[in-house]
Amino acid sequence: MITMNGVEWTISIFLAYVAGSIPFGVLIGKCSGVNIREHGSKNIGASNVARVLGKRLGALCFTLDLLKGAIPVGVVGLLAGTMGVKLDQIDTIDMLLWMAVALAALLGHMYSPWLRFGGGKGVATTFGGMVAMWPLLTVPVLLTFLAWVVTVSLWKMISLASLVAAALFPIMTFVWIILLSEHGSLSNAWPILAITCGVAIIVFWKHRSNIQRIINKQEPRIGTPKQTPSS
């Protein structure tokens, strides 16, 4: 199996953070003559871009935010020989470092140096990074995305859908790993489970204001722009 040394992993993690820190929502807004951080929810993510600038630019923002998570993880996975490999064939340290690449891209989006270490909530970037971890996390992420779509369809709240998806992500991962394992062993799975739980915690933390609004029944729904927007 191809391996990477410590310096190569360090550079990869740093570059993933840099890639994740690119504030595409802000750039799209500037190209449209709008400071996206002063309109709508003031968030730089795709949902606010769609709210302020329209669905087409919102979809563009979502795609770019997804790619800045997927590309670093996919490229490093190919270079390190971890992509497409069964869980029991990946060294635990390599698995942790590969997950660190995805986490670095997410943290770059949430705490961008270009925005004085502010940023978005990281749903699209997390989705991209985890989908790129074939086959370990691709299926769990797609299932949680399906849960996101169903939640949005039923309750019309993007923030609630993101919270539901984040909560389901570690559970789906746990079940998928058991199905992938020939003997049902989880001895090599703890890095994945730890990181997926960490991602869920981060998403909940970044949505804490939305959680309070949901409890107070003040969280806006899709199609009701006159309500207080989600941040």
- Evaluate whether residue 185 is within a structural domain: yes
Of residues 1 and 38, which shows the higher confidence score?
38
- Evaluate whether residue 133 is within a structural domain: yes
- Evaluate whether residue 228 is within a structural domain: no
- Evaluate whether residue 168 is within a structural domain: yes
- Tokens found for residue 1: 């199996």
- Evaluate whether residue 225 is within a structural domain: no
Domain that holds residue 193: 6-215
CB neighbour burial string for 108-126, b if at least 16 within 10 angstroms, e if fewer: bbbbbeebeeebbbbbbbb
Tallying the residues shown for the chain, one arrives at 231
pLDDT, tens digit, for every residue of 167-208? 999 999 999 888 877 655 567 788 888 888 988 998 899 889
Q: Across-strand partners of 112?
A: 118
Q: Across-strand partners of 144?
A: none
- Evaluate whether residue 224 is within a structural domain: no
The pLDDT of residue 226 is 40
Q: How many domains does the chain have?
A: 1
The pLDDT of residue 2 is 66
Instruction: Kindly indicate the confidence band of residue 40, based on its pLDDT and cuts at 50, 70 and 90.
Output: confident
- Evaluate whether residue 220 is within a structural domain: no
Max mean pLDDT among 41-50, 64-73, 147-156 falls in 64-73
- Evaluate whether residue 87 is within a structural domain: yes
Q: CA 19, CA 132: separation in Å to the nearest integer?
A: 15
